Amino acid sequence: MESRLPPLPDATTPVLVGFSGGLDSTVLLHLLAHGPAVRARGLRAMHVHHGLQPAADAWAAHCEHVCGQWQVPLQVVCVQVDTNTGDGPEAAARRARHAAFAAVLQPGERLALAHHRDDQAETFLLRALRGSGVEGLAAMRELRDFGAGQLWRPLLHVPRAALEAHARRHHLHWIEDPSNEQDAFDRNFLRNTLMPLLATRWPDAAAQFARSAALVGEAATLLQAQDAQWLPGCSDAAGALSVAALAALPAPACARVLRLWARQRGLPPLPGHGVDRIRHDLLVAGHDRQAEFRWQQARIVRWRDRLHAVADAPPWPPGWQADWDGRAPLALPDGGVLALRGTPGFDAPLQVRQRRGGERIRLPGRAHSHLLKHRLQASDIPPWLRPHLPLLCDGAQVLAAGDGIVAGPLRDWLQARGAQLHWQPPGNAN
């Protein structure tokens, strides 16, 4: 079985092994720890302590003992698993685990995980049962970008039986997680019940499912290249999508561009019905409607014939106000930042607060003031950002709304000093 372990593509790449103490990761760590070339590049291990099982502390101690025997540095990281997301305990634990791995992975380092061919077959089947598209059916990739480095699955083409044979041949000791026997979890039901049943009729079922996943992965790679060509033609410099350009695409291409764009804008994956809702509700919405699609903590909004990605930001506390002299950037309560550049600060502290309604502002070159509400409606500030707009005031006088609407007196003061007011809105909204 040792010959099935492929060499690292880059001979200078250090490796971080995700070590749970189970059979699979024990075999992977054993193979890497006993390879002098791998040790020379830098080898360490990490155990994620979820705290979900009564024996979790004993598992961490077992991993420390094994790593001590093999002289592999081990880092034990405790995580809090949020089980209130609605995705189930398995998905929640996986998210927490991957976040912990990403936090400690060094630039250029590879995170080695012990997924094998049977895992790949199960993932393919699970995603098929959930109605996944080609990206989902492609299942797991052997090598992909992850955190500051890459995620590497060197055993992805190796059957679990071969791992177990290796472990027994070398008298390895591993942890048996009792939750693996609970068929209430979908993956366990596939592993313990369905896959053995399929093997009685099709002995190589797992290998064929894994092969299908690989073939779908090749197709997905080609489609992703096409998506990368379509997306620039649909997006503007600010990253918003043109409704007209999207509507001109064939329906399957429109769906793929929407999913790619949402991913690049840092939004959660679109749900299964998300693309249809966007196409039917947003792309055909009237010009005067601010139609939107919401899911999790994100939304996509149609505004001025563009689709905009919006991540929800926390509201300002009622009545929040701060004195600010401009000498250092001011952190706003919603995660935004207000900064003054090019000058040490204001001549006297000013006040920063949220809109209350009815404010007026005197623009440069105007003898009279205007309602701020009207100036915002004519501005390029999106409606979803207006509740987060910081007002810079001198007493009752509004000097600026964000950095896009600046009163005449403040503009003159800034120009005389070569200074600039800069507002960074919260989140990643475009």
If DSSP codes are grouped into helix, strand and coil, which group holds residue 238?
coil
If DSSP codes are grouped into helix, strand and coil, which group holds residue 187?
helix
- Kind plus residue range of the DSSP H or E element containing 308: strand 306-311
Angle at 262 between CA 258 and CA 266, to 5 degrees: 170
Query: Using CA atoms, how far apart are residues 15 and 1, in angstroms rounded to an integer?
Result: 21
Query: Using CA atoms, how far apart are residues 21 and 29, in angstroms rounded to an integer?
Result: 9
Q: Is 22 annotated as a binding residue?
A: yes
Answer for the pair 183, 197: CB distance below 8 angstroms, yes or no.
Answer: no
Q: Is 23 annotated as a binding residue?
A: yes
The CA–CA distances, whole Å, from 14 to 21, 107, 123 equal 21, 10, 28
Query: Using CA atoms, how far apart are residues 300 and 194, in angstroms rounded to an integer?
Result: 39
Cβ neighbours around 376 below 10 Å, total: 21
Q: Is 51 annotated as a binding residue?
A: no
Query: Using CA atoms, how far apart are residues 285 and 277, in angstroms rounded to an integer?
Result: 11
> What are the helix (H) ranges across 145-287?
160-169, 186-189, 195-201, 205-234, 243-247, 251-264, 274-277
Buried b (16+ CB within 10 A) or exposed e, 209-242: bbbbbbebbeebeebeeebeebbeebbeeeebbe
Query: Using CA atoms, how far apart are residues 241 and 306, in angstroms rounded to an integer?
Result: 5
DSSP type of residue 170: T
Phi, psi of 85 (to 5 degrees): -85, -15
If DSSP codes are grouped into helix, strand and coil, which group holds residue 274?
helix
Q: Is 24 annotated as a binding residue?
A: yes
Query: Using CA atoms, how far apart are residues 306 and 263, in angstroms rounded to an integer?
Result: 17
Give Cβ neighbours of residue 409 (< 8 Å, ≥ 6 apart): 362, 399
Q: Is 418 annotated as a binding residue?
A: no
DSSP type of residue 7: P
The CA–CA distances, whole Å, from 186 to 17, 23, 117, 413, 423 equal 26, 20, 18, 65, 47
Answer for the pair 15, 153: CB distance below 8 angstroms, yes or no.
Answer: no
Residues of the binding site for ATP: 20-25
Residues of the binding site: 20-25
